[in-house]
Amino acid sequence: MKYYRLIVNGYEKTAGVLHAPETWPYPIAYDAEEVNNWQSLVVELQGGMYCPFDMCCGANMVSEELKDLFCSFAGPDAYLEFLPVKVVSKEYGDRTYYIMHFTKIYDVIDYENCERFGDTILKIALDYRKVKDLKVFNSRPVINDVIVSEDVRKAMKKTKLSFGSIFSQIKLTHEDDL
């Protein structure tokens, strides 16, 4: 099994960018912390088309179709919630997007096998024993930490929900121990 960090592709020329009001506190959401005042948030799509996965002011944002796909893989005990937010666009029409928010941080990192520069982790390594049953999860309380399994990546590509996204493979350890 392979796992990938899901990243917004900032080089996709036709992809739009979601913008929160200038007065909105940054970040909109931290994983494992309550998200405040999201019910009154209205964001704007600028500079291109809607992407199924996007970022806005420090929050992971997903379309309804991608939310449904993630829910089909994540299961009811995934510690994952989707908070609806209105997105406005003069060019592409208004839509509902969802703040993708993990209510806990998964303990999945193999710290001994991470790539480091001094004490700073440059690239994480996932412990296969901890992730083998997970499909959509996070690993750290940092902004934009969404990890998906190979199954989810393939489903996103097949359903064309990968537009505007990059999949960066993550090192996996202890896979041979089982």
> pLDDT tens for residues 102-125?
999 999 999 999 999 999 989 999
Q: Which two tokens stand for residue 94?
A: 């208004």
CA quadruple 17, 121, 67, 157: dihedral, nearest 10: 80
Q: Torsions phi, psi of 34, nearest 5?
A: -60, 140
Q: Which domain holds residue 57?
A: 3-177
- Peptide bond between residue 27 and the one before it cis (omega within 30 degrees of 0): yes
DSSP string computed for 2-45: -EEEEEE-TT-TTB-EEE--TTS-S-S--TTSPPPSGGG-EEEE
The pLDDT profile of the chain, 178 residues, written as one tens digit per residue, is: 899 999 999 889 999 999 999 999 999 999 999 999 999 999 999 999 999 999 999 999 999 999 999 999 998 888 999 999 999 999 999 999 999 999 999 999 999 999 999 999 899 999 999 999 999 999 987 778 999 999 999 999 999 999 999 999 999 998 876 5
152 in helix, strand or coil?
A: helix
Q: Give the count of domains, the chain.
A: 1
Query: Residue for token digits 């929900």?
Result: 161
